[in-house]
Chains A and B, each alone.
Chain A
Amino acid sequence: MINVEKINKSFGSKHVLQDVSFSFEAGKTNLVIGASGSGKTTLIKCMVGLHTPDSGKIIFDGASFNDLEKKDKRELRQQIGMLFQGGALFDYLTVEQNIAFPLNMFTNMSEEEKRDRVNFCLNRVNLNNVNDLFPAELSGGMIKRVAIARAISMNPKYLFCDEPNSGLDPQTSIIIDNLIHEITQEYNITTVVNTHDMNSVVEIGDNIAFISQGKLAWQGNKDSIISSDCKELNDFVFASQLFKKLKQ
């Protein structure tokens, strides 16, 4: 479980996050939704330590991230897997080397054990016979799947996904969403997904935080979102004709 308590973050005079508090539950797919520029990427970057919040606490299962020593922060980060918007695969390494990368850095596994783990992770994301390909040779959906495989290779306790569906067709988006959801439940991971894709909200939103203009404007789940009376949320969720009809 990750608790975010009264997080504030400014860039110059722009107050991007204002007193955001939320609980991200273990074994659930926690979504952070909001319009572009609402502050959701800043929130996720504060949570993984890429930005330092101006005030507030981020607590990973009782351990306050900002109060940890540098060494302890590094150790905690080894329990975090992250799926970046563009995949962020190392382009000079093959798929197999990318997935084995954290294993090489932090474990004493033998080459055979590492190969088994890589193949297990690739099978888990339904990819086969791509071990020797380079990221440039993969499609967008395959890149995301390899990135998920790399993120789970170290059996993380926490999984962060930044816009996992961006640039993907609707069918592949659903596959990626379901994959994230299945992995979360299977390994009891605390998963945080940053998205503005309403299909993801309806498909996998176990626990949802809606950020509007840097503030937590609403929280709930995929069932309660339809009946919400939060105006900002309704303007965001039911912007398209399809979702308007769904609400009606």
Chain B
Amino acid sequence: MIQGLIMFGKYLSLLGNVFSRPENKKVYFRRVLDEMVKLGVNSLTIVSIISLFMGAVVTIQTGLQLSNPFIPKYLIGFATRESLILEFSPTMIALILAGKVGSSIASEIGTMRVSEQIDALEIMGINSSAFIIQPKIIASVLFFPILVIISMAIGMFGGFLAATLGGIISKAEFLQGLLYWFQPFYVLYALVKTVFFAFAISSVSSFFGYYTDGGAIAVGKSSTKAVVYSCIVILIVNFIITQLMLS
């Protein structure tokens, strides 16, 4: 318990350092763009593949549950859309990104720590935590919502393919379901969640990477801790935001 509080205190203290004024705004801006490519654009393929199959599976399973002839078929499209927007796209994709991006951030920063690159930054008079971590957090917070919107669109397309090619329902019925009783607030809710998830993944992973102590084994441990803790934080934040925005 005390260990946990100390760790949380170190995390808050690190965040305090991370959000200090940049030494050179131009260099930081370029780093944000680089991180957007590294953390966001490079995750597009995995996000697209997962979303396509996720949408397809949600549609097939919903189709199985709604086999009662009294329930209109277009509700399959409706349920697919709602599941994707409310939960699957933001939360599933965040968990996937915690694995992919979180481990990458922790191992990159951990390697910088053990190879003295962070010390080199400090000796040059650069705030190493701000220089390394701030662009990663900004890039994640800005780009992850885009990934989630793309995931929603591809997921629905996957559902459409499964529904029509699998003969579950007709194109028209699926599209009718997709458009039925659309609530833009749900998209806002998903994006708000995503922003918090992005912050959690990038900051928690950076924290474990930054405080890596030792050699190659320590880098591996930091990477594992980053993924585990990011996932736990995502699930807790998901519960809190859902309670606050939807209940």
Residue numbers of A with Cβ under 8 A of B are 48-50, 73-78, 80, 82, 84-86, 88-91, 101-102, 104-106, 160
Q: A77 and B124 in contact (CB under 8 A), knowing A104-B24, A104-B27, A105-B27?
A: yes
Q: Give the chain A neighbours of B126 by CB distance below 8 A.
A: 74, 105
Check if A105 sits within 8 Å of B123, measured CB to CB.
Answer: no
B120 in contact (CB, < 8 A): yes
B69 in contact (CB, < 8 A): no
Q: Give the chain A neighbours of B120 by CB distance below 8 A.
A: 82, 84, 88, 90
Q: Is the interface of B mostly helix, strand, loop or mixed?
A: loop
Q: Give the chain A neighbours of B27 by CB distance below 8 A.
A: 104-105
Q: How many residues of B contact A (CB 8 A)?
A: 14
22 A-B residue pairs with Cβ-Cβ distance under 8 Å, sorted by A, are A49-B122, A49-B123, A50-B122, A74-B125, A74-B126, A74-B127, A77-B122, A77-B123, A78-B124, A80-B123, A84-B119, A85-B116, A88-B116, A88-B119, A91-B115, A91-B117, A101-B124, A102-B124, A105-B23, A105-B24, A105-B124, A106-B125
Q: Give the chain A neighbours of B119 by CB distance below 8 A.
A: 50, 84, 88
Check if A78 sits within 8 Å of B115, measured CB to CB.
Answer: no
Q: Give the chain B neighbours of A82 by CB distance below 8 A.
A: 120, 123
Q: Give the chain B neighbours of A73 by CB distance below 8 A.
A: 125
Residue numbers of B with Cβ under 8 A of A are 23-24, 27, 115-117, 119-120, 122-127
Q: Give the chain B neighbours of A104 by CB distance below 8 A.
A: 24, 27
Q: Give the chain A neighbours of B124 by CB distance below 8 A.
A: 77-78, 80, 101-102, 105
What's the least CB distance linking A133 to chain B, in Å? 17
Q: How far apart sit A106 and B127, CA to CA, in the bound complex (Å)?
A: 13
Q: Give the chain A neighbours of B122 by CB distance below 8 A.
A: 49-50, 77
